[in-house]
A and B are shown apart, each in its own frame.
Chain A
Amino acid sequence: MKILLCCNAGMSSSILVKKIREAAEKRGMELTITAVPSAAIRDEVGKWDVCLVGPQLVYAVANIKSQLNIPVASVEPRTYAMADGDKALDFAISLIEG
């Protein structure tokens, strides 16, 4: 599974990257994950299964979706704040299956 995270500068979402990776390791899942700034989203077309966006960029979800053509959604604020890797991973999986 390949998850892309995106926020304004790729900084705050990189905190969540680490936690999601840990959660996936615990489950024995194979996972590729990285965080990019929203300005770099155009270089990510065709590389990912799903994209999670920082809640602060909720207004950019539609635009990102139109470029990536994969499921894109903003992370629930509390999950994002606490960098809850498990919940974020569940959310990503639900987006792909949904």
Chain B
Amino acid sequence: MNSKFQDTLMKFMMPVANKVEQQKHLQAIKDGMISIVPIIIVGSISLLPLAIANLLGSGAVYDFLTAHMSIFTYAGMFTTDMLSIYAAMFIAIALAKSYGICGNLTGATAIMVHLILSGLSIEGGMDISYLGASGLFTCIISAILSVEVTRLLTKKKIIIKLPDSVPSMVGESFAALIPLIVNAVIAVAIANISLAASGKVFPAFIMSILAPALSTMDTLPALLIVIFLTQFLWFFGLHGPSITSAVWASFAIAYEAENMANYAAGAPVSHIFTFGLFYAVLQVTGSGLTLGLVVMMMRSKAKSLKSIGTVGIVPSLFGINEPIIFGAPIILNPFLFIPFVFGPMVITVITYLSMTSGLVGKPIAGPPGFLPPGVGAFIMTLDWKCVVLVFVNLIIMTLFYYPFFKMMEADELKKEQGEKA
């Protein structure tokens, strides 16, 4: 790849990456969605006893687990099944912070708006079916609406001003009152208009609009585009997932939560492209599945490669491969473009097909990040075959890197000998 071509591409990509980074709503959605991952992990833990019972099928442990299942899975009801409430709060706080208007009531206002929009009042209680995975898109609206309304009112100075002698906390709570009331009124209006006009609760209306997008994102072509862009950006030294996840994180997290809810309910699990799958399988040991490359570098005769490999091996085992990406370097390295950008796409095809064919279990939980290869995959599926898949993927990637690595090593050795002479 010649440098002029690279410069042109860079000139094109930097502003795009910069624009995405500065788009406050997109960033708030991404940051807010990623903030609920710990809640998903708690929900996943509460699903473990159910998954273990399903694995066992019979015996004393099985009997004990099934007899007390409602206690074991109790937390799931308040985490996975109410995920959108947490997300509404996190997205609102992230957005309000970027505007510099985050206050005591920011999170609460978003939760209030979201509950009004999504919790359908029924005889003797509230229908919570739209507070879980299927409420995750509505909560984006709830959060943005609540922050924007508050921002507009504050900007237009439509807040109650009190004399200076009033203690500041009292003043603050009054100042926040009007935006809170206006938000409630708007949310009640939207909720009731939706019910009257479409006969559907607001999130059902949103989900019917989003249906085409929702079914498109969880397909092999969509996943391949995501992986290609992620790897391509990385090749130019830009953090791929950080940029692309502004678009896909909401979908992947919604799919993950839906799979968890279905699994808990004993219904079939349908989605493949979950947040956990991306990091624990498709990008295991870092973007580009570089573990094999790191090992080859460690054992290289070229001193520079060996030193980077040695520095990079431990972080790589925990999914951090920046030392390799910038050290090898992979960025702008003509030798590694093909395996680094196209290898992970092959891995994506293999992974996708092995899950659609039923060979490997689909994700039923959200694993913690930054775990050694195979660990996240196991927690995510509770299927040992998924662990095998991860290692098969890593071996295939190593074979992919091998010939290109050899060329790069030969080139490096030539340079090193040249320096000596």
Chain A interface residues (CB < 8 Å from chain B): 7-9, 11-12, 15, 38-39, 42-43, 54-60, 62-63, 77-78, 80-83
Contact = CB atoms under 8 A, between A and B. Distances in A.
Contacts of B73: none
A8 B326 contact: no
B242 A56 contact: yes
Closest 5 CB pairs of A and B: A81-B327, A59-B17, A56-B239, A12-B322, A81-B326
A56 B308 CA distance: 17
A57 B324 contact: no
B327 A57 contact: no
Main secondary structure of the interface of A (DSSP, over half): helix
Nearest to A8: B242
Interface of B: 14, 17-18, 21-22, 27, 30-31, 34-35, 94, 97-98, 100, 234, 237-239, 241-243, 307-308, 311-312, 315, 318, 320, 322-329, 331, 369-370
Contacts of B35: 39
Contacts of A80: 322-323, 326
Contacts of A54: 239, 322
A39 B327 contact: no
Given A12-B315, A39-B94, A59-B14, A83 B323 contact: yes
A82 B17 CA distance: 25
A78 B239 contact: no
A81 B325 CA distance: 8
Contact of A59 (B21, B312, B324): B21
B298 to A, nearest CB: 14
A58 B237 contact: yes
Contacts of B30: 39
Nearest to A38: B242
Contacts of A83: 311, 323
Contact of A82 (B94, B242, B243, B307): B307
A62 B20 CA distance: 13
A18 B328 CA distance: 22
A81 B324 contact: yes
